[in-house]
């Protein structure tokens, strides 16, 4: 026969202790929200703790990327209904294809705060492979396309040092990257390309 240990009434937490525990948990949740979540997601840092922890910088980068994407859409216009999942394709490159030489290489250096945009002129259904690396620091980027009244965002990132993949054009137009150096030192970006595109354009 098993004799289960029964706690004594005096060992159980009192209502006052339970209430105090709930209050402490609530205060802790609010503190995490104010010190971490708000700075990291929205760059809102009323206490200053988020900047000390590096959370506010993350929020500012997110806000800058969103603003830059909206600005680009305002310049180029287009239909936002295009789905990212419908426009980005990760193609598995065979061994023989992987051994092919890159068709073009573009390299440039951005001072702190500077930006550059490189686009590939592509027809609908065309595909282009790319790889790029950033040396000297980190960089923010936005990979997107526009043309014929259409636009799409393929990918974006902050504090990145490299990326690679394949662009498959869902429509004819310009498909490519916007980079901005938000680091404190010069950053050199080297982009390698191959595939079906007729022209490379660049704007600073």
Question: Phi, psi (5° rounding) for residue 170?
Answer: -85, -10
Question: For residue 133, is pLDDT > 60?
Answer: yes
How many domains are contained in the chain? 2
Same domain, 25 and 113: no
Residue spans of beta strands (DSSP E) within 20-161:
88-89, 104-110, 115-122, 127-135, 139-147, 150-160
Mean pLDDT of the chain: 80
Question: Which pLDDT tens digit goes with each residue over 10-33?
Answer: 555 677 777 787 788 777 777 776
Task: Give the tens place of pLDDT for each residue, 37-82.
Answer: 776 777 787 777 667 777 667 767 767 776 766 665 555 554 444 4
> Do both 106 and 192 map to the same domain?
yes
Whole-number pLDDT of residue 45:
77
Residue 65 falls within a domain, yes or no? no
Domain CATH for 196:
2.60.120.680
Band of pLDDT at residue 157, cut at 50, 70 and 90 = very high
Residues 47 and 104 in one domain: no
Q: ∠ CA 44-47-48 to the nearest 5 degrees?
A: 80
Per-residue confidence (pLDDT) for residue 156, from 0 to 100: 95
For 145-167, letters b (16+ CB in 10 Å) and e give bbbeebbbbbebbbebeebebbb
Q: How much is the pLDDT for 84?
A: 42
With 90 as the cut, is the pLDDT of residue 125 above it?
yes
DSSP H/E element including 13? none
- Confirm whether 2 is domain-assigned: no
């Amino acid at each position: 026969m098993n004799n289960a240990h029964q706690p004594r009434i005096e060992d159980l937490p009192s209502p006052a202790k339970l209430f105090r525990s709930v209050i402490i948990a609530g205060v802790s949740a609010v503190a995490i929200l104010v010190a971490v979540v708000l700075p990291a997601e929205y760059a809102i840092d009323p206490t200053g703790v988020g900047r000390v922890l590096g959370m506010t910088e993350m929020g500012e980068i997110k806000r800058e990327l969103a603003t830059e994407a909206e600005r680009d859409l305002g310049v180029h216009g287009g239909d936002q209904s295009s789905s990212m999942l419908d426009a980005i394709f990760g193609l598995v490159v065979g061994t023989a294809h992987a051994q092919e030489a890159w068709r073009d290489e573009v390299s440039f250096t951005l001072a702190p705060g500077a930006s550059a945009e490189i686009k590939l002129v592509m027809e609908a259904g065309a595909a282009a492979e790319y790889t790029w690396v950033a040396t000297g620091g980190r960089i923010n980027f936005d990979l997107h396309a526009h043309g014929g009244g259409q636009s799409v965002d393929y990918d974006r990132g902050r504090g990145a040092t490299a990326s690679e993949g394949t662009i498959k054009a869902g429509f004819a137009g310009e498909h490519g990257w916007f980079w901005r150096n938000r680091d404190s030192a010069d950053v050199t970006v080297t982009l390698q390309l191959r595939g079906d595109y007729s022209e490379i354009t660049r704007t600073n």
